[in-house]
């Protein structure tokens, strides 16, 4: 089809036109599919009511067991949304969940923004188009490691306001915004009773953690918030997470790593898990946390085993803190969160695949889970137990009293021992359960899934620069070194940022004003400048006593930079830390300039509106001959922001004539702007900028703010080569990246890029080498899988069959090894294959004593040249049993290649 299209276009051997045609073709396919889904969405949902009882949410009169996928719409682009939602559905999600971000929607009081990444209505409708329900957490406080917890900064300037307590100015503003969101959803016909996908809403967020800080006002506020939410007539249930005193008509829910022991505050409410933390956030200078999927699956299975009904992954896709949306203190730009879908929109394997299998197993159990009011508990051992869901209801909903059909029955067998596996007897059969795991038996007999046995493939994420780029075909400005790295450009332009007061908009007052009161968070940066008079006797005093004057400040957050006479002499980073900085003055008048910087405003805790930023407490200079100088009473000139921000040097429309060519031996150090143009690698793979050669700053591509960057290094110790999934998880348990910069790669969405001549603008604060910035592709190049004869069969086959009626063929019960490459890639080679007793793990496989000689040829024949393949774990497939009486395993490692590789282009060009 592609060749015919190319021929009809008369492209011949013009490779430039061929790339454009290929990309256009791919985009058309996505557009056609998306268009069809949107059309279907208008008729997908018939109006239905949502209620609940003690067991579950009741949708259209039926109890449901629901899996929810957390996706924050502003942390991706609208062009990414359809794929993210589709992958969530494929992974087994029934529901899409998101917070609402007040400061993104109302950046200026009374001026609303629902465009681009903040087009919430479009996002909700896309979920409906894919047949998914929606859980909208209005809040409006979000936390979410989002700037100021989602509150607009102008809110703190309202006279007499105090956030999140029984305060009339705050309640008035909160009600106004929550009402607007509910009314908007109603006007767009998005509630379930209107035929829309929204089945659940949230008011407030984790308020129970801080309620005691507000005393009686906190308790009154909870009652008010609940009453206000219910008064809006949304027509679907409301929840409050982590709120044990939630009023009777609001469902209180759980947020944690484990919620299997959680019970709501009323027997009339279902057990809901609003945040299952499948990873954790990261701050600059910290290690990267990872949560093993075996433990995550264990937590989910235990939740449903013990009576849970609705579980939401926080996050299913984390995404990116574009612009200045990252919260504080010091949240990084990436919000990957170790989620099942990574920051770039690619599947994170084996996490996504293993959870997909778990979700399929839970769907097989759903008939029993929703018909039984509560499980039967059976103790199987000292740390082993079973929960059985059984009801005398026919699969078609008929009472079994007049039928001979067996009752619906599903069971969960748990081994909560952290060290040893256990063999237990259940209903006359013996089952072996690995440590810290749950086995799922949808028919109370056959185990179809165990949380500790991972059948899903492992995908090794790589960033690569050695693929053919557009610059191979078009004239480009990129340069390539002997290692094959494509650097952004040979030609960089630069301009220097003034290191002092630069604008007529500056003002001079006595003392230092609080940072946010001045900046209103329109910029990270606030300059303070004053003049210090130094006498000859002061200089002599310092020389004779071998001392230096010192600047002392009681409290600083997040960053302070100290300049004397235009020279940077010191830095401080922290959250309200004391600063003591030695100074070096000249005789006469000296300019003392302070620059305070925010790196995300406080997003969590009580009284965040009072936290502020910049400088707090006394500020003085000690060590003068005649005593200390109290700078709190000095005249200070204040200047908001950087001149480059004011001139919009990051904009494509900027025509500032101050840019000059940068030479390699002329790289400035502090507060310098750089710009260059670059082309992008061909294909549809996600793109990242590698900024490890830089220091700290911000970056823009084609005017889009991709976020803050910083090469702050994590601690050298604390990382483990092997992470044991067994036992309770916390964010410090399984960390990586010790001794390295926390983040060096920054996502640039494809929709923000052109084929060529993309403008990159860098604001560098501390010094770095832009000549070494490179553009890379983020992709799953290496894939591995390992499946044994004792593994469970592919669950999708069982879901499509009817396990309860025993309509399962023998072929459906055979384990299979399944491999796939990401979209647009094929399996180009098999680098390892062994059926027998292979050893090792992905990227480190080796043959064991038992090996079927045909392994490589069989796997290559089945998989090579395909996007995906599956191989049954059977002796006959490999020409016979290579070692009778021994359990066999098939281990495979393969390599994926983009369809837009050099060979693809050569073949397409030669055949067109």
**Which run of H or E residues covers position 785?**
strand 774-788
Among this protein's residues, is 418 annotated catalytic? Answer: no
SS3 state of residue 389: strand
61-348 and 487-496+647-678+686-772: identical CATH topology: no
- Torsion sign over Cα 425, 426, 429, 433: negative
- Residues 6 or more apart whose CB falls under 8 angstroms from that of 570 comprise 561, 562, 581, 582
Q: Is the dihedral of CA 185, 187, 188, 191 positive or negative?
A: positive
Do 339 and 312 contact (CB within 8 A), yes or no?
Answer: no
Q: What is the reported pLDDT for 912? A: 37
Question: Cα dihedral angle (703, 706, 711, 717), rounded to 10 degrees?
Answer: 180
pLDDT of residue 682: 78
61-348 placed in CATH 3.20.20.80: yes
Report the candidate in 199, 312, 321 with the shortest Cα–Cα distance to residue 256: 312
- Given the candidates 3.40.50.300, 2.60.120.380, 3.30.470.20, 2.60.120.260, the CATH classification of the domain at 507-641 is 2.60.120.260
With H, G, I as helix, E, B as strand and everything else as coil, classify residue 830: strand
Exposed e or buried b per residue across 85-124, where buried means at least 16 C-beta atoms within 10 angstroms of its C-beta = bbbbbebbbbbbbbbbbbbbbbbeeeeeeeeebbbbebbb
The residues with which 705 forms a beta bridge, in sequence order, are: 700
Q: Of these residues, 206, 286, 343, 385, which one is catalytic?
A: 206
Q: In sequence order, what are the beta bridge partners of 62?
A: 59
Q: Are 817 and 827 in contact (CB under 8 A)?
A: no
- Candidates 505, 484, 562; CA nearest to 530 is 562
Q: Which stretch of DSSP H or E encloses residue 183?
A: helix 168-187
User: By the 8 A CB rule, do 212 and 245 touch?
Assistant: no
Question: How far apart, in whole angstroms, are the C-alpha atoms of residue 816 and residue 794?
Answer: 7
- Is residue 275 annotated as part of the catalytic site, yes or no? yes
* H-state helical runs in 325-403: 351-371
| Residues across the chain | 912
DSSP structural state of residue 456: S
C-beta neighbour count of 377 within 10 angstroms: 11
Bond before 556 cis per omega within 30 degrees: no
| pLDDT at residue 666, rounded to an integer | 78
CATH of span 779-911: 2.60.120.740
pLDDT score, position 44: 65
Q: State the Cα–Cα distance between residues 12 and 152, nearest whole angstrom.
A: 55
Q: How far is CA 824 from the centre of its chain?
A: 23
Instruction: Give the whole-angstrom CA distance, residue 200 versus residue 132.
Output: 13
What is this structure's pTM?
0.91
Distances (CA, A) of 89 to 182, 412, 472, 664: 25, 24, 38, 50
Q: SS3 for 601?
A: coil
Which of 231, 225, 344, 151 lies closest to 777, judged by CA? 344
> Residue 43: which of 132, 134, 129 has the closest Cα?
129
Query: What would you measure as the largest C-alpha separation in the chain, in angstroms?
Result: 107
- Which pLDDT score is estimated for 909? 35
CA 268 to mean position of chain CA atoms: 34
Find how far residue 12's CA is from the centre of its chain: 43
Give residues with Cβ within 8 angstroms of 870, minimum separation 6.
794, 816, 817, 818, 819, 862
φ and ψ at residue 684, rounded to 5 degrees: -115, 5
DSSP 3-state of 155: helix
Taking CA 886 as the corner, what is the angle to CA 882 and CA 887, rounded to the nearest 5 degrees?
100
Residue 865 is given by DSSP the state T
Report the distance separating Cα 508 and Cα 475, nearest Å.
Answer: 52
H helices, E strands: number in the chain? 15, 44
pLDDT digits (tens, 9 = 90+) for 124-135: 999 999 999 999
Distance CA 760, CA 746 (A): 13
CB 409 within 8 A of CB 389: yes
Please tell me the number of Cα atoms within 13 Å of 815 on its side-chain side. Answer: 23
Angle at 360 between CA 359 and CA 364, to 5 degrees: 115
Dihedral sign for Cα atoms in the order 201, 68, 313, 341: negative
**Beta-strand (E) ranges in 541-683?**
550-564, 567-582, 588-597, 614-622, 629-630, 635-640, 660-661, 672-678
pLDDT value for 2 = 36
SS3 457: coil
Interatomic CA distance for residues 66 and 799, integer angstroms: 16
Question: For helices 351-371 and 293-305, what crossing angle results, to 10°?
Answer: 10
349/358 Cα distance (integer angstroms):
14
Contacts of 188 (CB under 8 A, 6+ apart): 121, 124, 125, 196
CA atoms within 13 A on the CB side of 428: 1
CATH architecture under which domain 487-496+647-678+686-772 falls: Sandwich (2.60)
Q: How far is CA 625 from CA 124, 579, 618, 800, in A?
A: 68, 22, 20, 86
Name the DSSP class of 47. Answer: P
pLDDT given at position 18: 37
Q: In what order do the strands lie in the sheet with 408-415?
A: 376-381, 384-391, 408-415, 437-441, 449-450
How large is the angle between the packed helices 81-90 and 120-129, nearest 10 degrees?
40
Q: C-alpha distances in angstroms, 184 versus 45, 139, 178, 757?
A: 19, 15, 10, 40
Annotated catalytic residue, options 145, 275, 286, 893: 275
List of E strands, 400-549? 408-415, 422-426, 429-433, 437-441, 449-450, 458-464, 479-480, 486-487, 493-496, 507-510, 525-534
What's the confidence (pLDDT) of residue 486?
A: 61
Burial (CB count within 10 angstroms: exposed 0-12, middle 13-18, buried 19+), residue 171: middle
Segment-wise mean pLDDT, segments of 10 residues, the chain, 912 residues:
35 38 35 37 77 98 98 98 98 98 98 98 98 98 98 98 98 98 98 97 98 98 98 98 97 98 97 98 97 98 98 98 97 98 97 98 97 96 97 50 59 98 98 98 96 95 55 41 62 93 93 97 97 95 94 97 95 96 96 97 96 95 94 96 95 85 84 94 90 97 98 94 94 96 98 94 95 93 94 77 56 88 94 97 95 97 96 95 95 91 41 39
- What residue spans define the domains of the chain? 61-348, 367-452, 487-496+647-678+686-772, 507-641, 779-911
Please report where in the chains the tokens 């009778």 appear, as a residue. Answer: 884
The DSSP letter of residue 115 is S
Contact 639, 506 (CB under 8 A): yes
Q: Are 574 and 557 in contact (CB under 8 A)?
A: yes
Output the pLDDT for position 362. 98
Q: How far apart are CA 211 and CA 404, in angstroms?
A: 55
d(CA 860, CA 867): 13
Angle between helices 15-44 and 81-90 in degrees, nearest 10: 60
CB atoms within 10 A of CB 289: 21
């Amino acid at each position: 089809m592609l060749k015919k299209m190319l021929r009809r276009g008369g492209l011949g051997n013009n490779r430039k036109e061929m790339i454009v045609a290929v990309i256009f073709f791919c985009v058309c396919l996505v557009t056609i599919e998306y268009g069809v889904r949107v059309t279907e969405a208008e008729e997908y949902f018939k109006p239905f009511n949502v209620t609940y009882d003690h067991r579950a949410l009741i949708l259209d009169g039926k109890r449901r067991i629901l899996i929810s996928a957390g996706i924050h719409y502003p942390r991706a682009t609208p062009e990414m949304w359809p794929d993210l939602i589709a992958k969530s559905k494929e992974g087994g999600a029934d529901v899409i969940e998101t917070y609402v971000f007040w400061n993104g929607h109302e950046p200026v009081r009374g001026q609303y923004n629902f465009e681009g990444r903040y087009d919430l209505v479009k996002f909700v409708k896309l979920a409906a188009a894919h047949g998914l329900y929606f859980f909208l957490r209005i809040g409006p406080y979000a936390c979410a490691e989002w700037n100021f917890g989602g509150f607009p900064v102008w809110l703190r300037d309202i006279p007499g306001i105090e956030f999140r307590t029984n305060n009339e100015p705050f309640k008035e503003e909160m009600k106004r915004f929550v009402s607007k969101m509910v009314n908007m959803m109603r006007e767009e016909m998005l509630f379930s009773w209107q035929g829309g996908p929204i089945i659940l809403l949230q008011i407030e967020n984790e308020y129970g953690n801080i309620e005691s800080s507000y005393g009686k006002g906190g308790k009154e506020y909870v009652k008010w918030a609940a009453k206000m939410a219910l008064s809006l007539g949304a027509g679907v249930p409301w929840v409050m997470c982590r709120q044990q005193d939630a009023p009777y008509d609001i469902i209180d829910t759980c947020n944690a790593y484990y919620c299997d022991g959680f019970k709501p505050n009323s027997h009339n409410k279902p057990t809901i898990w609003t945040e299952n933390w499948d990873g954790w956030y990261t701050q600059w200078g910290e290690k990267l946390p990872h949560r093993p999927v075996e433990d995550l699956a264990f937590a989910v299975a235990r939740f449903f085993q013990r009576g849970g009904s609705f579980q939401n992954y926080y996050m299913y896709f984390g995404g990116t803190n574009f612009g200045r949306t990252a919260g504080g203190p010091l949240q990084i730009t990436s919000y990957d969160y170790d989620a099942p879908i990574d920051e770039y929109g690619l599947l994170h394997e084996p996490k996504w695949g293993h959870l997909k299998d778990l979700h399929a197993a839970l769907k097989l159990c759903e008939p029993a889970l929703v018909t039984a009011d509560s499980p039967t508990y059976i103790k199987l051992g000292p740390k082993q137990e079973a929960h059985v869901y059984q009801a005398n209801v026919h699969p078609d909903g008929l009472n079994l009293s007049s039928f001979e059909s067996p009752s619906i029955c599903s069971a969960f067998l748990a081994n909560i021992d952290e060290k040893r596996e256990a063999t237990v007897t259940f209903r006359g059969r013996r089952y072996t359960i690995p440590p810290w795991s749950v086995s799922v038996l949808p028919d109370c007999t056959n185990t179809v899934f165990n949380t500790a046995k991972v059948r899903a493939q492992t995908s090794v994420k790589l960033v690569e620069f050695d693929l053919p780029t557009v610059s191979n075909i078009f004239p480009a400005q990129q340069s390539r070194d002997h290692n094959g790295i494509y650097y952004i450009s040979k030609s960089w332009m630069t301009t220097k940022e003034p290191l002092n007061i630069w604008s007529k908009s500056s003002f001079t007052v006595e003392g230092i004003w609080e940072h946010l009161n001045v900046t209103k968070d329109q910029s990270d940066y606030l300059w303070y400048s004053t003049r210090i008079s130094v006498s000859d006797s002061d200089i002599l005093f310092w020389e004779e006593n071998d001392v230096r004057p010192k600047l002392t400040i009681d409290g600083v957050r997040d960053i302070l930079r100290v300049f004397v006479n235009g020279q940077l002499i010191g830095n401080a980073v922290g959250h309200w830390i004391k600063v003591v900085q030695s100074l070096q003055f000249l005789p006469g008048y000296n300019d003392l300039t302070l620059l305070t910087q925010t790196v995300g405003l406080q997003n969590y805790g009580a009284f965040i509106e009072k936290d502020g930023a910049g400088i707090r407490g006394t500020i003085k200079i000690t060590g003068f001959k005649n005593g200390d100088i109290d700078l709190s009473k000095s005249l200070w000139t204040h200047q908001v922001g950087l001149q480059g921000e004011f001139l919009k040097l990051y904009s494509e429309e900027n025509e500032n004539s101050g840019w000059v060519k940068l030479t390699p031996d002329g790289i400035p150090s502090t507060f310098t702007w750089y710009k260059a143009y670059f082309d992008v690698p061909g294909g549809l793979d996600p793109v990242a900028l590698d900024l490890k050669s830089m220091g700290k700053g911000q970056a823009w591509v084609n005017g889009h703010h991709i976020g803050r960057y910083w090469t702050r290094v994590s601690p050298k110790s604390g990382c483990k080569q092997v992470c044991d999934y067994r036992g309770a998880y916390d964010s410090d348990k399984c960390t990586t990246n010790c001794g390295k910069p926390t983040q060096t790669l920054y996502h640039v969405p494809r929709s923000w890029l052109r084929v060529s001549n993309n403008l990159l603008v860098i604001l560098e604060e501390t010094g770095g080498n832009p000549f070494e910035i490179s553009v890379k592709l983020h992709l799953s190049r290496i894939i591995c899988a390992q499946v044994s004869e004792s593994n469970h069969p592919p669950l999708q086959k069982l879901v499509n069959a009817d396990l309860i009626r025993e309509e399962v063929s023998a072929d459906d019960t055979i384990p299979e090894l399944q491999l796939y490459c990401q979209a647009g890639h094929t399996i180009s080679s098999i680098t390892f294959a062994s059926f027998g007793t292979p050893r090792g793990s992905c990227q480190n496989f080796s043959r064991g004593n038992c090996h079927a000689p045909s392994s490589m040829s069989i796997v290559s024949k089945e998989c090579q040249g395909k996007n995906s393949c599956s191989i049954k774990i059977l002796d006959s497939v490999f020409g016979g049993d290579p070692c009778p009486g021994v359990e066999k395993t098939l281990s495979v490692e393969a390599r994926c290649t983009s369809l837009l590789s050099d060979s693809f282009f050569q073949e397409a060009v030669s055949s067109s």
